[in-house]
Amino acid sequence: MGMLRGLALAFSVSFFSCYLAMVSSDVASSDSDGDGFLQCLREKIPRELVYTQSSSNFTDVLVSSIKNPRFFTNATARPLCIVTPGDASHVQAAVVCGRMQGVRLRVRSGGHDYEGLSYRSARPSEVFAVVDVGASLRAVRVNRLESTAWVDSGATIGELYYAIAKNDSLVAFPAGECTTVGVGGHFSGGGIGMMMRKHGLAVDRIVDAKLVNADGDLLDRAGMGEDLFWAIRGGGGGSFGVVLSWKVQLVNVPPTVTVFNIGKTVDQGAVDILTRWQDVAPSLPSDLTIRVIVQQGQQALFQGQYLGACGALVETMGEQFPELGMTSADCQQMTWLQSAATPFISFSSNGTLEEVLLNRTASLSTSTKGKSDYVRRAITKAAWEEIFSRWFAMDGAGRLILEPHGGFMDTIPAAATPYPHRNGVLYVIQYMAFWQQQGEGGAAAKSWIGGLYDFMGQHVSKNPRRAYVNFRDLDIGQNDDDGTFDFENGPLWGERYFVGNYRRLASVKSVVDPTNYFRNEQSIPPLIETTTQVM
Ligand SMILES: Cc1cc2nc3c(=O)[nH]c(=O)nc-3n(C[C@H](O)[C@H](O)[C@H](O)COP(=O)(O)OP(=O)(O)OC[C@H]3O[C@@H](n4cnc5c(N)ncnc54)[C@H](O)[C@@H]3O)c2cc1C
Ligand SMILES: *[C@@H]1O[C@H](CO)[C@@H](O)[C@H](O)[C@H]1NC(C)=O
Ligand SMILES: *[C@@H]1O[C@H](CO)[C@@H](O)[C@H](O)[C@H]1NC(C)=O
Ligand SMILES: *[C@@H]1O[C@H](CO)[C@@H](O)[C@H](O)[C@H]1NC(C)=O
Ligand SMILES: *[C@@H]1O[C@H](CO)[C@@H](O)[C@H](O)[C@H]1NC(C)=O
Ligand SMILES: *[C@@H]1O[C@H](CO)[C@@H](O)[C@H](O)[C@H]1NC(C)=O
């Protein structure tokens, strides 16, 4: 509690025992049918910015940024309406009307949430509306003198990278690898990527933000205060308000970067190389990031990005990771922006830089389920052998993506931002299962990912087993609609994402949104202080 200076006033009057509870709020008790909400919106927002279920292109707008067809089926409950704000006042109006009329809001920026929480509710009875900031709040304004940019939440990271590099190709921003990811959700949860070993997460480079809070107030960093500003940089989207834009500090990149993509099958020594990679990758020079994709075909793909030219890279690889056998023939030299758009990293299709980086179109063909773990002690060779021989020989096998930490990541204290997975983390594992049909198909894929995740429990970080909030996974726990949690006796999903930062997030929430208006299946609940002795 020592760090909660800003909350001292609220906590100083009594002794208390703490637990987390879902408080009943103005909204929970409402049985709104939405008419009052729509009427309220009509008075405050231009009609053409509100798509109701009866609008002819309601479905087009709803589906426009859905990335996971699992959550676009006939059975998926539809929002009452979709608000596509053109400026801050429209977002403020949606919040004010929502609170007044008992309608919850789901905020959507890029629509990539693994559980679809930005546009669907897992509770069929919930009346909710979507505020889709991705529809038009997408500007990027670069300030070259300051080496900063303001980026609207609805922009994709591809749009951000493009706008920065078009202004000056020697600056960039450290964030994710898939260009269609939305800035709004991505920055809210952390933002890991190929430059994090040198420059940190996206949230490590955010210096200001504009947010509409649960009272409908528009606040910047000075207005919201340091506790709330801390919470929105990694505490996960959808808990604290609607972030409209972020001010980011740009980083320098060299004119030439080098990427490589080296596949090794088990027969070619993938197990030994991967076992070695676990210790090598987190301690390489921070200019060099090598991630690994383990996939079908008994194969590990080693994908590297080096912030420099081929010659120096080959030398470093020869000294530090000779096992991979990388040579200058593996080098692909390009600009940083090209590396951010290159299919080897982002899996996007061929096309011009503009076509790849600015393409927001969702492909709705592949359903996915993701999960995550963190590794602090290298997994044994025997375990990797079993992962390949047993789990990647199975029907429904998907892929693992391993992303090294270390470097700059080790220098940031775990409490500096809500993202706690810092010093000593070797790498994060993302498990991904996929199948080619809508809805609840994919039995083999789901059973594969569930079984593998159980198996991996013995090999990864424990007490609590860690997870990354941006790889959202409802299996690890959900807020109870009416129940209360005992803070001390979990198991709590929040501690798995945020470890020691969960409590501070809940404390901030109790101050800025005490009635829990911004709420979803995994939003931060307010920390309720029960008074045991009143002065
Ligand atoms: C193909 C793919 C690749 C990915 N690659 C990476 C990667 O390289 N690195 C990485 O770290 N992550 C990656 N992710 C995960 C990604 O960072 C998260 O899914 C992120 O939350 C997506 O943000 P979004 O705006 O696209 O999603 P949305 O679904 O729009 O939002 C996600 C969550 O944030 C909330 N939210 C959205 N906008 C706002 C806002 N403006 N204010 C407040 N809350 C908001 C939503 O309500 C929801 O709860 C990837 C995901 C996918 C599907
Ligand atoms: C909605 O439909 C109208 C008329 O069909 C069309 O002009 C408009 O572009 C559509 N808007 C969106 C966002 O799809
Ligand atoms: C959804 O409903 C439409 C129209 O009723 C129907 O044609 C379609 O087959 C349904 N899709 C699924 C996946 O059930
Ligand atoms: C880059 O941004 C600055 C404003 O910071 C602007 O004056 C300049 O014209 C921009 N340059 C390009 C090439 O867009
Ligand atoms: C890109 O184009 C090349 C050559 O046409 C092709 O071999 C490759 O499969 C394409 N990649 C993607 C991701 O479409
Ligand atoms: C944009 O992406 C979609 C989905 O991946 C793809 O079908 C389409 O061809 C892409 N458009 C361009 C112009 O590259």
Mention the CATH class of domain 140-252. alpha beta
400 CA → ligand 5 middle, Å: 23
Q: What is the CATH number of domain 13-132?
A: 3.30.43.10
What pLDDT score was predicted for residue 437?
A: 75
Q: Residues of the chain with pLDDT > 70: what percent? A: 88
Look at residue 531 in the predicted model and tell me its pLDDT: 45
pLDDT at 353: 85
Query: Among the atoms of ligand 4, which is closest to the Cα of residue 143?
Result: 5
| 421, pLDDT greater than 60 | yes
Per-residue pLDDT of 440-468, as tens digits, reads 679 999 999 999 999 999 999 999 999 99
Residue 57 beta carbon below 6 angstroms from any ligand 2 atom: yes
Which of 349, 352, 355 to mutate for ligand 6's pocket (most ligand atoms within 8 Å of CB)? 349
CA 273 to chain centre: 29
Locate the ligand 2 atom nearest the alpha carbon of residue 60 and give its number: 14
Write the residue with the smallest CA distance to atom 14 of ligand 6: 355
Distance CA 223, CA 97 (A): 22
- For 237-248, write each residue's pLDDT tens digit: 999 999 999 999
Burial letters 181-217, b for 16+ CB under 10 A, else e:
bbbbbbbbbbbbbbbbbbbbbbbbbbebbbbbbbebe
Give the model's confidence band at 26: pLDDT under 50 very low, under 70 low, under 90 confident, else very high.
Answer: very low
24 pLDDT above the threshold of 70: no
Separation of alpha carbons 333 and 306, rounded Å: 9
Structure-token match 């559980």, residue found: 115
pLDDT for position 508 = 96
Widest Cα–Cα separation across the chain: 74
CA-to-CA distance for 498 and 477, rounded, in angstroms? Answer: 13
Mean pLDDT over all residues of the chain?
Answer: 90
Q: Please state, in angstroms and rounded to a whole number, the distance separating the CA atoms of residues 237 and 159.
A: 20
Domain 257-334+365-456 has CATH 3.40.462.20: yes
Q: What six digits make up the tokens of 266?
A: 């088990």
Is the distance from CB of 111 to CB of 68 less than 8 angstroms?
no
* DSSP bridge pairs for 241: none
Domain ranges of the chain: 13-132, 140-252, 257-334+365-456
User: What values do phi and psi take at 175, rounded to 5?
Assistant: -150, -160
pTM (2 d.p.): 0.92
pLDDT at 401 (0 to 100)? 97
61 close to ligand 2 (CB < 6 Angstrom) = yes
Q: What is the 3-state secondary structure (H, E, C) of 496-520?
A: HHHCCHHHHHHHHHHHHCCCCCCCC
Q: How many CB atoms lie within 10 A of CB 38?
A: 17
pLDDT of residue 491: 52
Closest of 254, 266, 342, 339 to residue 301, by C-alpha: 266
Q: How many residues does the chain have?
A: 535
Output the pLDDT for position 270: 98
Answer whether 269's CB lies under 8 Å from 248's CB. no
Pocket of ligand 5 (CB under 6 A): 343, 349-350
Percentage of residues in the chain having pLDDT higher than 90: 80
Residue 282: strand, helix, or coil: helix
192 lines ligand 1 (CB under 6 A): yes
Confidence of residue 527 (pLDDT cuts 50, 70, 90): confident
Confidence of residue 490 (pLDDT cuts 50, 70, 90): very low
66 CA → ligand 6 middle, Å: 14
pLDDT reading at 350 higher than 70: no
Cα–Cα distance measured from residue 215 to residue 240, given in angstroms and rounded to the nearest whole number: 11
**Residues with Cβ within 8 Å of residue 319, at least 6 apart in sequence:** none
- For 173-204, what is each residue's pLDDT tens digit? 999 998 999 999 999 999 999 999 999 999 99
User: Is it the case that residue 221 has pLDDT exceeding 90?
Assistant: yes
Q: How far is CA 162 from the centre of its chain?
A: 20
